[in-house]
Amino acid sequence: MTTVLVVDDEPIVRDVIVRYLRRDGFATLEAADGDRARELIETAEPTLVVLDVMLPGTDGLELCRWIRSRSDLPVIMLTARGEEADRIVGLELGADDYVTKPFSPRELAARVRTVLRRSNGSVARPERLELGEIVLDGASREVTRAGEPVTLTAREFDLLWFLASNPRRVFSRHHIMDRVWGHAPALDTGTVTVHVRRLREKLEDDPAHPRHLQTVWGVGYRLDP
């Protein structure tokens, strides 16, 4: 069964999230702080983590960094902060999505389903795409560069696959948000910018002058194979 770990220091928030997730058929685990969350991640191996940024002890951003250092476990960040910079930090650390408090529990449950669907491979078809020395395997969702494995988050893979499946086509950030994220609540296009930058850092010889993931100024991005 799919198990979602809900990490938040507010019992009322945890209770609401857990009730909605259980109603949707998910098993749930709960943690009130980052240290307990680490224990559950290591011992119970949840399928996805809903993670609040502001936590006692190990905060959410540090916990997200720890998760990304060891696995591609999907992470949805919760934040009470409205500043774009705070959301960007979470995405740079590898979060797959974010939800700003106050939020609709129904929307959060939908985000969980979307992230899980994408991380389980419904976006990628069982095909193989090649971008020079970069190879994408749609069945295993693995990426190699010059024969060496490259670790991508589920969202990074989805973004790369989408662009690689449509070579040389230019897509706006709004279009990418809709096609890759599957939703566009506030159309925070900075989310796309962060993910493109992270892909460049992992795949390009010179991220400042990318060969494949190109910016079309005033329009969006395209991938040149």
CB 94 within 8 A of CB 194: no
Asked which of 72, 94, 119 is the last residue of a domain, the reply is 119
Mark the ranges of the chain whose per-residue pLDDT is less than 70: 81-86, 120-126, 183-189
**Which range marks the domain in which residue 193 is found?**
128-223
pLDDT tens for each residue of 98-136: 888 888 888 898 889 888 887 765 444 547 888 888 999
Q: What are the tokens at 223?
A: 């991938």
- Tell me the C-alpha distance between 76 and 71, whole Å: 15
Q: Note the pLDDT of residue 151.
A: 92
SS3 140: coil
177 lies in the same domain as 72:
no
Give the residue from 1, 2, 15, 194 showing the smallest Cα distance to 98.
194
Q: What is the DSSP letter of 210?
A: -
Q: Give 21-37 pLDDT, tens digit per residue.
A: 998 889 999 999 999 99
Task: Give the per-residue pLDDT at 85.
Answer: 64
Read off the CATH number of the domain in which 111 is found.
Answer: 3.40.50.2300
pLDDT computed for residue 121 by the predictor: 56
How confident is the model at residue 124, as a pLDDT? 42
Q: What is the pLDDT of residue 120?
A: 67
- 134 and 219 part of one domain: yes
Do residue 143 and residue 112 come from a single domain?
no
CA distance 213 to 221: 7
Residue 95 and residue 151 in one domain? no
Residues 111 and 135 in one domain: no
**68, 95, 119 — which closes off a domain?**
119
CA angle 43, 34, 197 (to 5 degrees): 100
